[in-house]
Amino acid sequence: MIPDITKAVTLLQSGGLVAFPTETVYGLGADASNASAVRKIFQAKERPYDHPLIVHLARLEQVHEWAQTISPQALKLAERFWPGPLTLILKKQPHVLDTVTGNQETIGLRIPRHPVAHALLQAFGKGVAAPSANRFTHISPTTAAAVYEELGNKVDVILDGGACEVGLESTIVDMSREQPVILRPGMITAQAIADALHIPAILSEPGERTIRAPGMHHLHYAPTTKTVLMATQAILPFLAALTPDEFPIALLTYSDLSVPRSAAIHQVKMPSKAAAYAHDLYHTLRLLDNQRVKRIIIEAVPLEMEWGAVRDRLGKASR
């Protein structure tokens, strides 16, 4: 076992906070069965207590410790996508702490596939409650340095597993209802869920999303710099109409749109493929946010399903 994992396990056992890499984003973990440890997560993030946490596990057999049942349909998703960037919402076992579930009757479970996350969860042997390791409403961290920038010494240890492969948070599917409902889109698409289940998965309606549903808080996943989303053809006219005091600006494009070269426009060319774009997005927004531009303009991305998770996060970043 690598030494940091041993240290991290000891910290979890004594009620400490451990930041660790997953393939989606970095998580801020605590022993999910220790109420005072779980409360520290909320304090470190400055997150309201009614926002439920995802419990991370190493193995499928552990699901029964947390969920009353796993339906045949939910099991299909688990077997198809775990370990991986999927969170399942299931009916909770009675012993599950209210601090973890935000007083709901359901629990979010995920088996991540990042080798460091897996090693940690396997060595700890119990469930680890972990939201993304950022301050409330900020962008999720996709590197260990970003975790430090967000939480500094509020974390007892940060395990460094490099840059996260997926770069956006997991797809959350509520399997506790009659029909599968996608509460948060991710890189596992609604189509991939439907293909695995042989029935359609519905996307939760904005009206139905409460504060407890993922990322519904105003300005969730948002840079602090004013961020606007813009159709490709609107960008050049918009830039032309800005007054000198409205620069410098940053411009995030994925198409081959080219803008006049200027020191006042920091153009970042993003990948034109959805997975690569997702991988880079939070890291790029974080860098730009630190550059003190007046505005971040983001070119709206394609409407295809594979871009769904990116579109969702861009919408939230720019609201």
Binding site for ligand TXA (CB under 6 A): 22, 24-25, 27, 51-54, 87, 89, 101, 104, 106-108, 110, 130-132, 169-170, 172, 183, 212-215
Nearer to ligand TXA, 253 or 308 (CB): 308
Nearest to 186 by CA among 297, 62, 81, 56: 81
Q: Is 232 exposed, middle or buried (0-12, 13-18, 19+ CB in 10 A)?
A: middle
The binder of 84, among ligand TXA, Mg ion, none, by C-beta within 5 to 8 A per type, is none
Nearest to 215 by CA among 187, 182, 261, 166: 182
Nearer to Mg ion, 25 or 229 (CB): 25
The binder of 143, among Mg ion, ligand TXA, none, by C-beta within 5 to 8 A per type, is none
The binder of 51, among ligand TXA, Mg ion, none, by C-beta within 5 to 8 A per type, is ligand TXA
Nearer to ligand TXA, 86 or 293 (CB): 86
Q: How far is the CB of 172 from ligand TXA (least distance, A)?
A: 5
Q: How far is the CB of 55 from ligand TXA (least distance, A)?
A: 8
Which is it for strands 249-253 and 27-31: parallel, antiparallel or unpaired? unpaired
Nearer to ligand TXA, 110 or 283 (CB): 110
Nearest to 192 by CA among 314, 313, 306: 306
If you count them, how many residues does the chain have?
A: 319
CA distances for 92 relative to 66, 75, 96, 109, angstroms: 6, 15, 7, 10
Query: For residues 253-272, which are near Mg ion according to CB under 5 A?
Result: none
Cα–Cα dist 141/169, whole Å: 10
Helix segments in the chain, DSSP class H: 3-13, 35-45, 63-66, 72-81, 98-101, 115-124, 144-151, 190-197, 232-241, 274-289, 308-317
91 sits in which H/E element? strand 86-91
- x/- letters, 113..132, toward Mg ion (CB under 5 A): -------------------x
Q: How far is the CB of 179 from Mg ion (least distance, A)?
A: 25
Q: How far is the CB of 268 from ligand TXA (least distance, A)?
A: 24
Q: Is 242 exposed, middle or buried (0-12, 13-18, 19+ CB in 10 A)?
A: middle
Q: How far is the CB of 223 from Mg ion (least distance, A)?
A: 14
Q: How far is the CB of 300 from ligand TXA (least distance, A)?
A: 24
Nearer to ligand TXA, 16 or 185 (CB): 185
Nearer to ligand TXA, 128 or 230 (CB): 128
Nearer to ligand TXA, 40 or 251 (CB): 40
Q: How far is the CB of 198 from ligand TXA (least distance, A)?
A: 24
| Non-local CB neighbours of 174 within 8 Å, separated by 6+ positions | 89, 106, 180, 181, 182, 183, 204
